[in-house]
A and B are shown apart, each in its own frame.
Chain A
Amino acid sequence: MLETARDLTLEAARDATAARRSATRGMSTVHLKKLLDSRSERDVLEGLRRVIAMSYRQEPTHSLFTHLIKNIASPSLEIKKLVYAYLLQHAESSPDTALLSINSIQKSLTDQNPQLRALALRVMSGIRVPVISQIVSLGIKRGVGDMSPYVRKAAALAILKCYRLDPGTEPQMIEYLAALLGDKQYFVAGAAVSAFLEVCPDRLDLIHPHYRSLLRKLLDMDEWSQLDTLRLMGNYARRCFPRRKRRVKRLIDKRGTSTNTKGFYDGSSSGSEENTSNKDAFYDEIILDPDLSLLLESAASLLQSRNSAVVLAVTRTYLYLGTDSHVDQAIGPLIALLRSASDIQYIALHNIIQVCLLRPKAFVPYATHFLVRSTDAPHIWQLKLELLTLIYPLCTSPLQGLILSELDHLSRGHDTLLVREAVRAVGRCAQNSDGSTSSRCLRLLLSHIHSPDGHLVAESLEVVRHLIQRDPATHQSIVIRLAKNLDTLTNPYARASIIWLVGEFAGIDPENNIAADVLRILVKGFVDEAEVAKLQIVLLAAKVYVHYLNLTQPTASSFEQSAQVKTSTVLAPNDDEDRLRESTFAVNKYEPDRSAEDSLKGPEHPIVVIWRYIQLLSRYDTSYDLRDRARLYRSLLAVPSSTQLASLVLLAPKPVPQAPSPSETRRDLLLGSSSLIVGEEGGIGGLRGYEKLPDWVKESEEPNPGLREEGFDNNYGEKREVSASEKLEVMESEKTLSNNVVGGSNTNGHKQKALNDWLDESDSEEGETEEETDEETTEDDSEGEGSETDEGEKVMLMKER
């Protein structure tokens, strides 16, 4: 209670100051200059704070720059930091003034305080004024040799900035990088890797000697360096380890893996080697280079990282470099990313889909993670739906039931977009699975027909139509069932869809086809139909009529064909035109005549009567589109004996509609890249700066594996590189052997100190801080490398896992 009360008072006071401050926000530059020029540290600080606040508020501060710069020589670290912060943001806009500061920064490079040295190096390299690149380069050179790892880390990052400033310094930078890549401090090496990726990503020869040590440090690096290292290693592995395969006889229990492995290889760029002939007896086993295995194993622990980017980077490494079992290891951690905030979830889902396209089977156990919740944003549920449809064909029957009822539920919702996507998802489920499950989907879709929701009905029928078109032979009965629904169905788009389907099936099994009968019934209510439906009815009539003509005049289409063609080419055009003209002007007069003429041959066939009736109805419709189309069909079918053109137009086989998974187009994009998320919008070949993983190096073109042997080119003295976990083991054993190692009596020298020892040491250090600082500075001066080792050792030990 007390605490909160005090908090409140403080808060109130703070708010009051804030108010006061905003009142003085427009403090005159004269006053500010006075503050900055003041001798009192406190005044200068106050002035600096205000200037920084002004610059963040986008208020002009240029006039104060020179006054501000003066303070860079201040002995106060706090003032220095603020001047540096300002300098970094504004040096570029007034380079001449910024140059004034270089001298004093250079002085700081030799300060006793490593933090200040690191800071100075950072700021000097961060001033984006190209003329100083040589000075920066010198500063980096000094920093690379510094004994504090923090300064070396700053040097590594400065390399990157110096290179950006002046690419001409590249040779020097590469030289420094070579030294830093082998640094035994993991955070120095990590920073060096980031710089390497920017400065000279193709100089893999620099990596060879440090390959193994970098991997051993991987676990201890900070998350951002881990990301960079994994990226580097992805490129490195592709260029240095050829993909070797061995033909292995399949075990007797076939575990059903053959198709899956195939899918996986197809996705990777080495897919061309895949050979399908030996599918039954043999399969290709990937032989991993021991060094590549080291990479894959070192990355395994990172799958438990709290950083989603790291988890994804490991997955990428496994997907493009490892084997199936590696990928399977990463599936769970990928799913765990869905627990994060929705912004991360969105990116994670895109990447999960990408992996799922290659290995859907592995995601089946996690199906319930993809169920759509009512709070999901559209961009999230869209991806979830896609995942559900991707894994659907591989699910067990109860799971399929679950997914279907899920989609069913969603399609009954209120969000039109969601309804549409859910129905389409059902369609994708159906097209990707075998007969029985497919018909299950179809039944589900058909049950939507009587829904009061027009969108749902129309969308369902659209999908049903696609499904039927894909496999017309087995779906004939469904068309009949749909046609029955025409009596009650009210949604015009749904009606149009069904009528079109009936028309498509009009030619099958002519003896008891329903098309003609459906047409007869529809014609009765033609006037009350909506335009979309009317259009389809006219089309149906035309189709039925063509089929009728083709049936009744088999001779025309078979042996008299050639003659027919001749006559029609000669006569028909004119005839047609004449007839058309006549009919447009004098139908009422002409038609009865013709029917009278026809009736001489006997009672007319009902189809002909209906056809003529439809023509009449459509001619006087209010819609010009309908009238035009009707006229088109009429002229097509004007000559009963010549139906070739009409058949070609009306009965052409329709292409089978395909509905691939929406992310199918992104299949080739690199996992974990922005291009993958943006998709087609980013242009062909991804966004600017998108880099594909290089292809596997060809056998016998890879660099000599001996280059990776340690000690081959070891210029930074890694005599004994022991991983942290090994160290722990050593220590544990030591502890059990002799639990009484106390104080600084370490017999084994610096390298073999046990945890107890240095902890003791740090304890005593704490007791006498002042003395300690003295000690450190003297150590720094005199001992150099020795104290350095100590520091490094400590950090390593604390990280043991």
Chain B
Amino acid sequence: MGAIEALYIFDEHNNSILQHTYNGHPASAKVLLPLYLAQPAPRPSLTYLPNINPATLLFSIIQDRLLFLCPTSKDIEPLLVLEFLHRVADVLEDFLGSPLLASRIEASYDVVAQLLGEMCDASAIANTEPNALHDLVEPPSKINELLRGVGLPSSSPSLNPSGSTPFSLGSGPRPTIPRAPPPTPTVLWRKANVRHTSNELYVDIVETLSVLSAPSGRPLAAFAHGTIAFTAKVSGVPNLLLNLSVPGGIQHVLSLPVFHPCVRLARWREKPGELSFIPPDGRFVLAGYEVDLLGPDYLENATKAVSAKPHQKHNVAPNLNLPATAEVRTNLGHSGAEFEVRLLLSNSFTSSASSSLASSQSSAARSAPRPAFGIAAGTSAQPTVSDITVTVPLPPAVRNLSDIRANKGEAHFAPSDGAVEWRIASKDVAVLAASGHGAGGAAVATLRCTVVGPLNDDEEGIEEIAWGETWEYQDDKPYQAPGVKDVGGDKGRDTRRMGKNRMLMPSAARVSFQVKGWLASGIRVERLIVDTQTSRGLGAGVKPYTGAKYLTVSEGGVEVRC
């Protein structure tokens, strides 16, 4: 079985910024990078390079625009390496600050060197828990950096008192007396002797939508991928209990969960929806799950409904209540060169201008302490939609869009990406909501575009025949249309152009948006309590602030076909 042999990191311009060798004599970064880049653009995460010495398996991930490469010369479990690379990226981000930038790594090579040494000990992955690493490696303190820059001693006692400084930026207490043996942590994933002046607990549930609709508008698949991110800033060793609930029962709705190792699985199995755990210090991902928004028997039921009432195809969609979705109609206009995207905004979400203001406040209100579960007005009572973008990918044959008309928002075509991007600002959404309460309970915005195909397709009538000759030589399919002469006439040309333009039509549109204060699955945090019986180190009578935030995101996740 193989082992991790080296780690190479490159910045966004593919300059090598770090080369760390763990074991053996792997191929160097100079050799590997060109071979990696030689592959076509969306590169797979594992490539085999048999023609170099030693023959190398090259693993790669890209995080925060940095490229991580890891070569091995023997067979190895690929997921092990990839998970390790992800952990390295996460730990570096945790220590050096988010987002992970090349300059940050370059500025603290000493910390990176220690981290890489701790995480993988001569090719055996040893310790990847950020909390445990914090016990062993000191993060680069920004104050230190600053002082070093100015030329002052960083360990001056007056500037750097023991315990947490007010400027310690959440890195927790630093072990300032290096000679004292640091205490061994009691739990693998939690730092020892955590202390915070303000005790806070936050739950952020983020659901990412993945919806696919057929051209008829009928959803084919609709999933919400949920992540429960948890922020614990509590002293001592707290024992927490988090209850989730959802109409319909958590065990039916929430499926395929994965958990952070701190979660007691037996408790979850016994009482679904109850998470009992001792959290690591700081922010971490507590759990991930999946919700099938259509329900398990959707497909069967839908077909039955269709066969029963064949004309009401559109109504079989179940209670899939999306804030925004789209419809695309193609081959419009007299030569079929136009297409139209209609964005449908659900009324229950469209925000008035005031509530969108409230939502922006609530997002900023994060740092301010909030009463326990007093969810700020305007978030979950009236969820607000923002950042609506519709992306329409176009086939590469489309040369340009001669005409882009959007009745709301702005749209532009980027030939390099081959897609039209149509953004609708929040205030436009508000206007839409106010004006268009008709149209079946949804506000509608439309975008209409005309495509321009390859050059030789634009030529009309007589010229076309003249073109026919030269075309033969340009393309290796000479008899493109022997039937042209037979069909003839205006009508024939039109249908032919229609056919050609059909090749230039988009085949899908993707809608992106963000909804604060709403979860597609309807999951809610019922309560979050600190079990005082079993928790230690939390002063008597201290009640941590608790807060929950819900966010539903679609990053091009709502896809409508046409």
A157 pairs with B258, CB closer than 8 A: no
Residue of A nearest to B76 (CB): A674
Per-position contact with B for A524-548: 1 when CB-CB < 8 Å, else 0? 0100111000000000000000000
Which residue of the partner chain, among B106, B259, B299, contacts A306 with CB atoms under 8 Å? B259
Per-position contact with A for B216-249: 1 when CB-CB < 8 Å, else 0? 0000110101000000000011000000000000
Which of A52-60, A101-109, A206-214, A502-510 is the interface stretch? Answer: A52-60
- Chain B residues contacting A697 (CB-CB under 8 Å) are none
A763 pairs with B559, CB closer than 8 A: no
Tell me the complex Cα distance, A305–B285, Å.
12
Which of A329-337, A576-584, A711-719 is the interface stretch? Answer: A329-337
Q: Does A49 contact B (CB under 8 A)?
A: yes
| Smallest beta-carbon distance B498→chain A, Å | 9
Q: Does A760 contact B (CB under 8 A)?
A: yes
Q: Does B38 contact A (CB under 8 A)?
A: no
- Chain A residues contacting B393 (CB-CB under 8 Å) are 374
Tell me the complex Cα distance, A620–B137, Å.
84
B110 pairs with A58, CB closer than 8 A: no
Residue of A nearest to B306 (CB): A398
Which residue of the partner chain, among A122, A197, A347, A681, contacts B79 with CB atoms under 8 Å? A347
Which residue of the partner chain, among A157, A195, A332, contacts B256 with CB atoms under 8 Å? A332
Q: Which of A79-115 contact B (CB under 8 A)?
A: 81-82, 84-86, 88-89, 112-115
A377 pairs with B42, CB closer than 8 A: yes
Tell me the complex Cα distance, A453–B16, Å.
44
Q: Does B278 contact A (CB under 8 A)?
A: yes
Per-position contact with A for B178-199: 1 when CB-CB < 8 Å, else 0? 1111111011100001000000
Q: Does B212 contact A (CB under 8 A)?
A: yes
Which residue of the partner chain, among B79, B146, B265, B536, contacts A763 with CB atoms under 8 Å? B536
- Chain A residues contacting B181 (CB-CB under 8 Å) are 112-116, 773, 776-777
Tell me the complex Cα distance, A681–B44, Å.
15
Q: Does A42 contact B (CB under 8 A)?
A: yes
Tell me the complex Cα distance, A42–B154, Å.
8
The interface size of chain A toward B, counting residues with CB under 8 Å, comes to 148
Which residue of the partner chain, among A89, A309, A369, contacts B77 with CB atoms under 8 Å? A309
B559 pairs with A313, CB closer than 8 A: no
Q: Which of B281-303 contact A (CB under 8 A)?
A: 285, 288, 290, 296, 299-300, 302-303
Interface residues on B, range: 35 or more
Q: Which of B97-121 contact A (CB under 8 A)?
A: 103, 106-107, 109-110, 112-114, 117, 121
Which residue of the partner chain, among B18, B143, B267, B537, contacts A762 with CB atoms under 8 Å? B537
- Chain A residues contacting B20 (CB-CB under 8 Å) are 56, 89
Q: Which of B123-146 contact A (CB under 8 A)?
A: 124-129, 136-138, 142-143, 145-146
| Smallest beta-carbon distance B478→chain A, Å | 7
B300 pairs with A85, CB closer than 8 A: no
- Chain A residues contacting B525 (CB-CB under 8 Å) are none
A17 pairs with B146, CB closer than 8 A: yes
Q: Does B440 contact A (CB under 8 A)?
A: no
Q: Which of A785-801 contact B (CB under 8 A)?
A: 791, 794-795, 798-801
- Chain B residues contacting A454 (CB-CB under 8 Å) are 477
Tell me the complex Cα distance, A157–B16, Å.
30
- Chain B residues contacting A346 (CB-CB under 8 Å) are 44-46
Q: Does A229 contact B (CB under 8 A)?
A: no
Interface centre among A309, A674, A773 (most CB of B within 10 A): A674
A150 pairs with B75, CB closer than 8 A: no
B300 pairs with A396, CB closer than 8 A: yes
- Chain B residues contacting A776 (CB-CB under 8 Å) are 181, 183
Tell me the complex Cα distance, A23–B305, Å.
72
Which of B399-407, B424-432, B501-509 is the interface stretch? Answer: B501-509
| Smallest beta-carbon distance A132→chain B, Å | 15
A368 pairs with B179, CB closer than 8 A: no
- Chain A residues contacting B110 (CB-CB under 8 Å) are 48-49, 52-53, 82, 85
Q: Does B255 contact A (CB under 8 A)?
A: yes
Residue of B nearest to A201 (CB): B1
B500 pairs with A452, CB closer than 8 A: yes
A453 pairs with B503, CB closer than 8 A: yes
| Smallest beta-carbon distance B198→chain A, Å | 13
Given A371-B221, A454-B477, are A157 and B74 also a contact pair (CB < 8 Å)? no
Which of A236-244, A408-416, A469-477, A591-599 is the interface stretch? Answer: A408-416
- Chain A residues contacting B124 (CB-CB under 8 Å) are 157, 160, 191, 194-195, 224
Tell me the complex Cα distance, A77–B180, Å.
9
Q: Does A573 contact B (CB under 8 A)?
A: no
Q: Does A339 contact B (CB under 8 A)?
A: yes
Q: Does A721 contact B (CB under 8 A)?
A: no
Q: Which of A6-64 contact B (CB under 8 A)?
A: 6, 10, 13-18, 20-21, 42, 46, 48-49, 52-53, 56, 58
| Smallest beta-carbon distance A399→chain B, Å | 6
Q: Does A355 contact B (CB under 8 A)?
A: no
B178 pairs with A157, CB closer than 8 A: no
Q: Does A227 contact B (CB under 8 A)?
A: yes
Residue of B nearest to A801 (CB): B264
A687 pairs with B507, CB closer than 8 A: no
B76 pairs with A688, CB closer than 8 A: no
Interface centre among B16, B42, B50, B129 (most CB of A within 10 A): B42
Q: Does A304 contact B (CB under 8 A)?
A: yes
Which residue of the partner chain, among A15, A114, A305, contacts B258 with CB atoms under 8 Å? A305
B193 pairs with A88, CB closer than 8 A: no
A308 pairs with B79, CB closer than 8 A: yes
A672 pairs with B55, CB closer than 8 A: no
Given A371-B221, A673-B77, A686-B75, are A398 and B86 also a contact pair (CB < 8 Å)? no
Per-position contact with A for B13-39: 1 when CB-CB < 8 Å, else 0? 000111111010000000000000000
26 contacts between A and B (CB under 8 A): A17-B145, A82-B114, A115-B184, A116-B181, A157-B124, A164-B23, A224-B128, A304-B259, A335-B256, A336-B258, A343-B60, A344-B45, A368-B221, A369-B221, A371-B221, A409-B507, A490-B481, A490-B483, A530-B478, A677-B46, A682-B48, A756-B533, A759-B536, A766-B537, A776-B183, A794-B186
Can you add 18 more A-B contacts, CB < 8 Å, to A114-B181, A153-B126? Answer: A1-B364, A13-B145, A42-B153, A224-B80, A306-B259, A308-B82, A336-B258, A339-B290, A344-B45, A347-B82, A413-B507, A414-B397, A452-B499, A492-B477, A759-B237, A759-B536, A772-B183, A801-B263
